[in-house]
Amino acid sequence: MGKSTYHKATVTLKLPFKIAPDAELIALRDAGIPVDDLGVAASGFLYMRTTSDYRSHIFRWFAGRRDGRP
């Protein structure tokens, strides 16, 4: 069996669940995550999940490419 690979997110950001879309984009950009006007990452991979209590969104941005290459 091959060795497991674990990648830490370049940026992790926690935002309120009921944040305005414009404020969300501003927060992502201020954190250094390159997103377009729709919130899609311009580079790397952006993963978003909602907390189990529906109070927050957790954004995790990985600067590398999806296929694991730098």
Q: How far apart are CA 22 and CA 1, in angstroms?
A: 46
Whether the predicted pLDDT of 68 surpasses 70: no
pTM of the model: 0.79
Q: Give residues with Cβ within 8 angstroms of 32, minimum separation 6.
A: 11
pLDDT tens sequence across 18-41 = 999 999 999 999 999 999 999 999
pLDDT at 65: 56
Residues 6+ apart with CB under 8 A from 10: 44, 61, 62, 63
How sure is the predictor about 3, in pLDDT bands with cuts at 50, 70 and 90? confident
